[in-house]
Structure 1
């Protein structure tokens, strides 16, 4: 069985980039987060969904903002040109540097034929008391 995160409309909202709420999730008029709960209801065509990053939840969280309070989109990271580097030669040959790790085969463990659990190092099954001979 494969465990996956649930599909949600918030997954379609990009991080730190405002999106019109009507395009993401249709519904009734709602309020701007910054204006507060006492503000007037605004149609979803006048609100922006903004997905913030969260330090403990990788999905982040989405808030709705009016045009006055919507945060600016995050600037695109600029790719710097790679600087020319000179590699220092190692005194060892390449064959000595790349030594593969030895493959250690997994040890076959004794299993109880009645309970189908691994028996302890003493050879006795902790469930039914069967002993390996």
Structure 2
């Protein structure tokens, strides 16, 4: 099944970064995802909206949180210089070079002037070439 996306207000939200719900999408009171479904709805001014990543939907999904349950923003650590990033990045395991097989010298049939296969028998005239 392929998930199709439509464009709406959620596209403007950054991933894993809390945004005030009243600024992102004003509307009716909503429940906090952390408080549970039995809790009372919160006014939008008291809620935060967070767009989370989803394993199969590249658009992600959105949840509302109160101040008590608001997740911490997940930001990548700043990198000061490219050289420092190269030093701190884990190195990939080194791949061993595949053993090289020397190529067979090209052998031509003295009568037909065509390349002879590894069997040593000319495919055109049938002469045995050493």
Fold similarity call, TM over 0.5: yes
Larger Rg: 2
**Equivalence map 1:1-133=2 (5 Å):** 5-83=5-83
Deviates more, 1:70-79 or 1:8-17: 70-79
Number of aligned positions between the proteins: 82
Aligned residue for 1:33, secondary structure, equals coil
Question: Residue 100 of structure 1 corresponds to which residue in structure 2?
Answer: none
Question: Residue 122 of structure 1 corresponds to which residue in structure 2?
Answer: none
What is the CA-CA distance between 1:49 and the residue it aligns to?
A: 0.2
Which digits, 9 at most, give the CA deviation of each residue in 1:37-67, with x for residues without a partner?
1101110000000010111111110000000
Unaligned ranges ≥5, structure 1: 86-133
Alpha-carbon distance between aligned partners in 2 of 1:83 and 1:22, rounded to the nearest angstrom: 42
Distance 1:40 1:56, change over 3 A: same
CA RMSD of aligned residues (A): 2.1
Aligned residue for 2:83, secondary structure, equals coil
Aligned residue for 2:65, secondary structure, equals strand
What is the CA-CA distance between 1:79 and the residue it aligns to?
A: 1.9
What is the CA-CA distance between 1:74 and the residue it aligns to?
A: 1.1
